[in-house]
């Protein structure tokens, strides 16, 4: 890596070699940091997709159970159209939940993802520079 003074008597050339080696190491460090952050990002995205799929399946089962429960309740009150009204009530409940998610999407989705990326890209940098987390 470095030349001894016996091999190369020119100190300016030694300085140039040392600066070049330092820059190469810094570039490698940046590449590793980016690769680590990209891996974390992809991991979080994949886990979010899996959670959404499993949550959607669970929500479907809950909606069917809710429909059957409402249908059974309405069977005693309105035996003629109990399935129709159970479907309407279930759909209205899902629409209300969807509207609530849309109203609070910035707090639920956008804010948490922005905080995740800020923590991922800047907190580790502060830890590297100061030796401890802030």
- What are the tens digits of pLDDT across the range 16-60? 999 999 999 999 898 888 888 888 888 888 888 988 899 999 999
CB count within 10 Å of CB 70 equals 19
Instruction: Specify whether the CB–CB gap between 134 and 118 falls below 8 A.
Output: no
Rounded to whole angstroms, the Cα distance separating 1 from 25 reads 12
What's the half-sphere exposure (Cβ side, CA atoms, 13 Å) at 76? 4
Whether 2 has a pLDDT exceeding 80, the answer reads no
Q: Any alpha helices (H) in 78-108, and if so which ranges? A: 82-103, 105
Q: What is the pTM of this model?
A: 0.56
Whether 132 has a pLDDT exceeding 60, the answer reads no
**Could you state, in order of their start, the residue ranges of all structural domains in the chain?**
11-103
Instruction: Specify whether the CB–CB gap between 16 and 8 falls below 8 A.
Output: no
Whether 8 has a pLDDT exceeding 50, the answer reads yes
Residue 7 confidence class, pLDDT cut points 50, 70, 90: low
- Helices 11-77 and 82-103, interaxial angle, to 10°? 150
Instruction: Specify whether the CB–CB gap between 44 and 116 falls below 8 A.
Output: yes
Rounded to whole angstroms, the Cα distance separating 128 from 33 reads 11
Using CA atoms, how far residue 130 sits from 14, 35, 62, 116, 117, in Å, is 29, 22, 50, 21, 20
- Diameter of the chain measured on Cα atoms: 102
Q: What are the structure tokens assigned to 67, written together? A: 């429909």
pLDDT value of position 18:
93
State in Å, rounded, how far the first CA of the chain is from the last one: 35
pLDDT in tens, 66-123: 999 988 888 887 777 888 888 899 999 989 988 888 888 777 766 777 777 777 777 6
């Amino acid at each position: 890596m470095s030349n001894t003074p016996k091999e190369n008597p020119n100190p300016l050339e030694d300085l140039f070699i040392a600066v070049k080696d330092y820059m190469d190491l810094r570039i490698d460090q940046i590449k590793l940091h980016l690769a680590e952050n990209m891996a974390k990002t992809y991991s979080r995205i994949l886990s979010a997709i899996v959670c959404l799929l499993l949550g959607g399946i669970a929500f479907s089962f809950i909606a069917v159970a809710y429909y059957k429960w409402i249908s059974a309740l309405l069977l005693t009150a309105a035996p003629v159209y109990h399935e129709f009204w159970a479907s309407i009530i279930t759909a209205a409940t899902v629409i209300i939940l969807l509207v609530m998610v849309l109203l609070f999407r910035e707090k639920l989705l956008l804010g948490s993802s922005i905080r995740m990326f800020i923590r991922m890209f800047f907190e580790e940098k502060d830890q590297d520079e100061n030796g401890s987390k802030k």
